[in-house]
Amino acid sequence: MTESATIERYQNEQGVWEERIVPPKPKMLTVADIEAADDVLEQVFLVPEWGGTVRLRQFTKAREFEMRVAATIGGQVDVQRLEMLLLTTAVIDPPLTPEHIGMLLEKSNSSIDRVLEQVTKMNRVAVGSAEAARAQFPQGPGLGVPISPNEGPRVPDGAPDEEGAPVG
């Protein structure tokens, strides 16, 4: 049986008697209550850069664990992989799958970050990737590091090459 709110009389700081509504104490849940709770929410989310909306769904704790395991390589979370897993798990309409990752990587950073921020907010996941990326790669002109037109990206000494062997 659910209790209803009660009205309580009290004396305020000026000595005047007032009434306030006292909400009922929350019910102590049973395991059956928790199991029956429909707590995986969906939300329609506007992505102006794409000209419309997408439907997002919260993921279960089991799915969050699966994504973290799938995004962990050599004991370290691969942030790019985790972000793509977050997107392909949470965006349910249109249904995004791992086959769409290449296409998503070619979309604007701001649109992907907009969706990711909403996904992490509604799922309360602490990815921190959007903030970390902005701190690491601030917007605006380059940082004044000259790169010759014939020089490709430099691989740090000891980093693995394409076959996994250390370079340098």
CATH class for the region spanning 39-136: alpha beta
DSSP 95: B
Give me the phi and psi of 110, to 5 degrees please. -65, -40
The pTM for the full model equals 0.60
Is 122 within 8 Å of 41 (Cβ atoms)?
Answer: yes
| Start-to-end CA span in the chain (Å) | 72
| pLDDT tens track, the chain, 168 positions | 456 888 999 999 999 999 999 888 888 999 999 999 999 999 999 999 999 999 999 999 999 999 989 999 998 989 999 999 999 999 999 999 989 999 999 999 999 999 999 999 998 876 554 455 445 444 444 444 444 444 444 445 555 555 555 555
